[in-house]
Structure 1
Amino acid sequence: MMKNIPVASAVELKDQVSYQPGQIVSKTLVQNSAVSITLFAFDKGEEISTHESGGDALVLCLDGKGEVTIDGVKHELAAGEAILMPARHPHAVYGKEQFKMMLTVVF
């Protein structure tokens, strides 16, 4: 079940989560045993350190520039670009500048 987003209304996803100085802000849209969809806003220099996920994770950049590291390889993302982080592979996310993304994890 979707939550935290208007029903039957067109929205700009990047406007559904706000930047906060020195923080990573998240807003969960879906969380269950099959899928997780979360919006994130990273302040410049903020990061989610290296970890692994039990599901394939798609990062869609909504605003700014971010850096996604997968298996030690860095990939830069800009608005409109996406990257797949495969399940059980170490990955990290870093705000090269202020950066908003939508994370979809399929288990």
Structure 2
Amino acid sequence: MKRILDPLDERIMAELTRNARAAHAELAAKVNLSRNAVRQRIERLERDGAIQGYTIRVGEGRGADTRINALIFVYRYDRMRGAEVLQALRAMPEIVQCEVLSGEFDVLVRVS
């Protein structure tokens, strides 16, 4: 159900637009309501679709092109280290390294 936002809802939305991480107590002080009343209004605004989500803007500390790497140690139940397995792993574009290991694990895969 769509509701018309009252002036208090508009003020809460404006404050959240400026700082989506503002605490309920901080918002309450700015709009002259109790913390609980602000919380209830925000929940209603979310439920009614006036607030459809929260987002972040990536700052200078972490560029959009920063990659995450993962090392995966693979243990094969059948203990086979066949060439077809390595070939299939190396064919995946996300896998940048694939090495056969001796010991408890069979294959080391680095994903980027």
TM-score over 0.5 for the pair: no
By relative contact order (CA 8 Å, sep 6+), the higher-ranking structure is 1
- Structure that is richer in strand per residue: 1
Larger radius of gyration: 2
- Structure that is richer in helix per residue: 2
TM-score range, shorter chain: under 0.3
